[in-house]
Chains A and B, each alone.
Chain A
Amino acid sequence: MKFAGFSRKVAGATREYEVYAMRWYWIDRFIEFESGKQAKAIKAISLAEDHLRDHFPEYPVMPKSLIIEGMAQTGGLLVCEHGSFHEKVVLAKIAKAKFHGEAFPGDTLVYTATVEYIKKDGAMVSAVAHKGDQLHAEMELVFAHLQEGHEDRTLFEPSEFLKMMRMLGAYEVGHNADGLPLMPPADLCEEE
């Protein structure tokens, strides 16, 4: 799962440059975001999505793998936000993925990710997708916080998370555990 624009230091180079900008968005907008607890995001499926041309010719169906990715992005950002985007959060395991139907262009899926646990080592998130009133998919996702041996690796740029959260409207609908509006971490705002 790629949350942010990757940037890598190239041997011998003196400056860090962005290899490519983040384009891997499989959710369109957050409609609810309660810090550390639950987030809801929508995914509107469009026939304009390139992959639907081949999946399948003349019978476009949203690939289940990309639905899982969207649900993982919903849950992953929820976990990242809880750690003020300082933890290196990676999707480690899809413990369960159960689908109850297909999704087609014109459908809107609502992904609801609920935190089961956030600990020092990682987090577990349960997630469901709905198409209208119908249950469309159920997931259990395990995220790991990378620790020993990864301290100096730049997997994600925290400031990219901020851009992503803003673009997805998390700060427009989000609130913290006390019910106060969700605010971006001050240190990341300073970096901008």
Chain B
Amino acid sequence: MASKDEIFEKIQTALVDALGVDDDEVTPEATLVGDLGAESIDFLDIVFRLEKTFKISIPRGELFPEDVLTNSEYIQDGKVTEAGIAELRKRMPFADLDEFAKNPVVQDFGNLLTVADMCRFVEGKLEEAAE
């Protein structure tokens, strides 16, 4: 299986190609939306590139569980409910949701995902595939 460094480098290349950003902008801490300027259609492009690069399958909603954010069961007054946070933690074990959970405004969710989260996500997918 690829090392963490190799995974990061490949993700960096995918993001440089998909988002037209420079190598040095793609740091582990960079957020995809806020720092790298990803828009919703870019996620389709990024997912295609990750699947091709790592030969993995990423079903819709796995990296970015948008269905949780449109489910009225999990949203109240523009914020994600406790049940919603629990669902997000279950679906996104690769992401650090602690900061978001303090004030879980739905609109802020889009800016949550970092490059490091994406690396952890791919590591998880590769481990899954190796089992």
Chain A residues close to B by CB (< 8 Å):
92-93, 95-96, 116-117, 119-122, 124, 140, 142, 144
Contacts and interface: CB of A to CB of B under 8 A. Distances in A.
Interface stretch (B27-35, B40-48, B73-81, B115-123): B40-48
A95 B52 contact: no
A121 B60 contact: yes
Nearest to A93: B41
Q: Secondary structure at chain B's binding surface: helix, strand, loop or mixed?
A: helix
A127 to B, nearest CB: 15
Contacts of B56: none
A95 B38 CA distance: 12
Nearest to A119: B48
B17 interface: yes
Nearest to B58: A119
Given A95-B17, A121-B60, A140-B17, 15 more contacts: A93-B41, A93-B45, A95-B45, A116-B48, A116-B52, A117-B51, A117-B52, A119-B48, A121-B44, A122-B44, A122-B48, A124-B45, A124-B48, A142-B41, A142-B44
Interface of B: 17-18, 41-42, 44-45, 48, 51-52, 60
B28 to A, nearest CB: 23
B44 A144 contact: yes
Contacts of B45: 93, 95, 124, 142
A120 B60 contact: yes
A144 B41 contact: yes
Given A117-B52, A121-B60, A95 B18 contact: yes
7 contacts: A92-B44, A95-B18, A96-B17, A121-B60, A122-B44, A140-B17, A142-B45
Contacts of A121: 44, 60
Contacts of B17: 95-96, 140
A92 B41 contact: yes
Contacts of A117: 48, 51-52
- Counting chain A CB atoms within 10 Å of each CB, which of B18, B48, B51, B52 scores highest? B48
Nearest to A117: B48
Contacts of B42: 93
B59 to A, nearest CB: 9
A94 to B, nearest CB: 10
Nearest to A122: B44
Contacts of B41: 92-93, 142, 144
